[in-house]
Amino acid sequence: MVISFTKMNGLGNDFVILDYKDFLKTNLKPDELAKRLCDRNFGIGADGLIIVNPNTDKADISWIFYNSDGSIAQMCGNGMRCFARYVYDKKLVDKKEFSVETKAGIIIPQIISETEVRVNMGQPILEPARILVDSKSNLDIPFVIDDNVFLLNTVSMGNPHCVIFVESDSKNLALRYGEKIETDAMFPEKTNVEFVEVLSRNEVTINVWERGCGITLACGTGACATTVAGILNGYLNNKIKANLPGGALNIEWQGNSTDTNHNVYMTGRADYSFVGEITV
């Protein structure tokens, strides 16, 4: 069976996007399809699979999202920007600001330009039980690994994140410890892991070990979670530039330690890589 696909990326975090009719043609379960299409040696190669799903009565449109290892992702910020540009360009929605049904709830993207999308990511989740972390608190949790003590800050943006602020070497720390933290028993459904260097109150550098993917060039929900954790710890202002290996995102959260009921906004690029056909 030959199906059509579009490959897109948000700051190098890349995705295979399928229309629903092409997904149905495969007669495969989405987890199996994700593993096959996202394989970088035998498939197209991507961090995740996005299936456009028009079958919703809860929003303007919906999506089905799977990580490259076949696991479900409740949300993906970079994926949402790519999805938003794709469905707008395909005229599957007829307005620049619209609602998308996801497993993390209703998300509102807005097309800013031909390459930029702003996404209302909703309110961060800070209660440990809802973050899915086995801890009584969500900030400054001591965690010992290989004789190193890290302070973990857990935030959910519909998917769990573990934010760790470090002085330097965030890239190597993510490579060395990301998977160990992702799969630790403290996180019953695993977690995304961000190692963060604070450059100023308005700028950070982030290296991410993404749940179900490993090291990625960018993570939109991770940048959002980092901003929230940084503000709650008193490190950051309410608007920041988040530098990731694949590029920069602008994140805004007007919350603080006494008033967390504010939505997080993320703005960044969404780019086409190529289109094609593949036999499955």
CB within 8 Å of 73: residues ≥ 6 apart: 48, 65, 66, 67, 79, 103, 159, 211, 212
CA distance 184 to 174: 15
Consecutive H or E run containing 279: strand 271-279
67 alpha carbon, distance to own chain's centre: 10
CA distance 253 to 223: 11
State the catalytic residue, choosing from 76, 162, 213, 224: 76
Q: Is 162 a catalytic residue?
A: no
State the catalytic residue, choosing from 82, 162, 213, 219: 219
CA distance 203 to 187: 28
Q: Is 76 a catalytic residue?
A: yes
CB within 8 Å of 113: residues ≥ 6 apart: none
- Sign of the Cα torsion 158, 162, 166, 171 reads negative
Asked if 147 and 120 count as a contact pair (C-beta separation under 8 A), the reply is: no
Q: Which positions are annotated as active-site residues?
A: 76, 219
